[in-house]
Amino acid sequence: MKHFPVLLNESIKALSVKKSGNYVDCTFGRGGHSKKILSLLSTGKLTSFDLDHESEKSAAGIKNSNFNFIRANFSEVSSFFQNSSLDGAIIDCGVSSPQIDQPERGFSFQKDGPLDMRFGDSTSKTCYDIVNFYSEENLAKIFKQYGEEKQSKKIAKAICVQREKKKFETTMQLAIFIKEIKTIKEKKNPATKVFQALRMEVNSEIDNLHKCLISLKKLMKKGGKIIVISFHSIEDRLVKNLFKHKEKIHEKSIPIKNDSSPEFKVSKLIIPSDQEVEMNVRSRSARMRIITKL
Ligand SMILES: C[S@@+](CC[C@H](N)C(=O)[O-])C[C@H]1O[C@@H](n2cnc3c(N)ncnc32)[C@H](O)[C@@H]1O
């Protein structure tokens, strides 16, 4: 399936790209957002990150001296820039359609592949390791926390019993097993939530996002914009909590008046239009925030 960049026009408009500005795309994917930013630069620079070899190949096709691709984890963004040097950054969280469509990457519950799910080979832990070796409690915890799966405990328990007889090897084997275990029926494929949870755990997605946002706080110039497109309530909560202006807390836990002025402004949630969702069903759960350094 072709990858449609989510909230493309809205996010690029929100970045208010300056022709000579310095920008970062933390999640190149197939370059949907990157190419649009590049088209607006004259002497400015764009540096794009991704962990995926396929993204690196795709980026190699961009012949533009304003562009640089780095195959690295975006959690390491601070190693590449000085404080107060960026005019804008964009993070489009999660997995891309081409990654899901390649069965050998192990993201799909509709096409058979190995239990992998890594965005890049620098990540040592695979989905196989988690499904076959995590404790029942840990499995239940990630299914609930990252997948918001109502039957998390039941599925975790059943997996642990089954793997004693035979280890889980492939995505279809796991997806069919989950379908048989789940008693509460839903509109979506029964494996959707568990697969999402496993992917987030394999790639330490929340931890990496947290590290990246902490770094970006320092790397942005005044007036600089950070655009975060997320697909999970945990991600959005993280964004809100990290950037909102906090009340100072007195030792006796009584909030006291905070005279310091806020450092960042966080926008309300922006969601895709009905037309976008109709054209690209993956955008259905996307939400965007614009963070401005004041
Ligand atoms: C939703 S896709 C981005 C799509 C992109 N905006 C486009 O228009 O083509 C997310 C991408 O982020 C990459 N990614 C996820 N976590 C990452 C991390 N911690 N560091 C670097 N890249 C990451 C994935 O490999 C994937 O290619």
pLDDT at 256 over 70: no
- For residue 178, the enclosing domain spans 124-202
pLDDT single digits (tens) 15-46: 999 999 999 999 999 999 999 999 999 999 99
pLDDT at 259 over 80: no
What average pLDDT does the chain have? Answer: 94
What pLDDT does 237 receive? 94
Using CB atoms within 10 Å of the CB of residue 293, give its burial: 0 to 12 exposed, 13 to 18 middle, 19+ buried. buried
Q: Which atom of ligand 1 is nearest to the CA of 90?
A: 6
pLDDT single digits (tens) 128-162: 999 999 999 999 999 999 999 999 999 999 999 99
Take residue 175 and report the two structure tokens written for it.
Answer: 């997806």
Q: Look at ligand 1, atom 5, and give the residue with the nearest C-alpha.
A: 29
28 alpha carbon – ligand 1 mean position (Å): 6
- Looking at the structure, do residues 209 and 83 belong to the same domain, yes or no? yes
Band (pLDDT 50/70/90 cuts) for residue 260 is confident
Q: Look at ligand 1, atom 12, and give the residue with the nearest C-alpha.
A: 27
- Looking at the structure, do residues 90 and 215 belong to the same domain, yes or no? yes
Complex ipTM value: 0.99
How many domains would you assign to the chain? 2
- Looking at the structure, do residues 89 and 135 belong to the same domain, yes or no? no
Quote the percentage of the chain above a pLDDT of 90.
Answer: 88
Q: Determine the length of the chain.
A: 294
Mutate to test the pocket of ligand 1, among 96, 105, 206, 207 (most ligand atoms within 8 A of CB): 96
What pLDDT does 183 receive? 86
Domain's final residue, options 202, 232, 257: 202
pLDDT at 252 over 90: no
- Looking at the structure, do residues 144 and 172 belong to the same domain, yes or no? yes
What pLDDT does 249 receive? 61
Are the C-beta atoms of residues 93 and 209 closer than 8 Å to each other? yes
Question: Which residues lie closer than 8 Å to 151 by C-beta, 6 or more apart?
Answer: 181, 182, 183, 184
- Looking at the structure, do residues 254 and 285 belong to the same domain, yes or no? yes
Take residue 202 and report the two structure tokens written for it.
Answer: 């394999």
Band (pLDDT 50/70/90 cuts) for residue 245 is confident
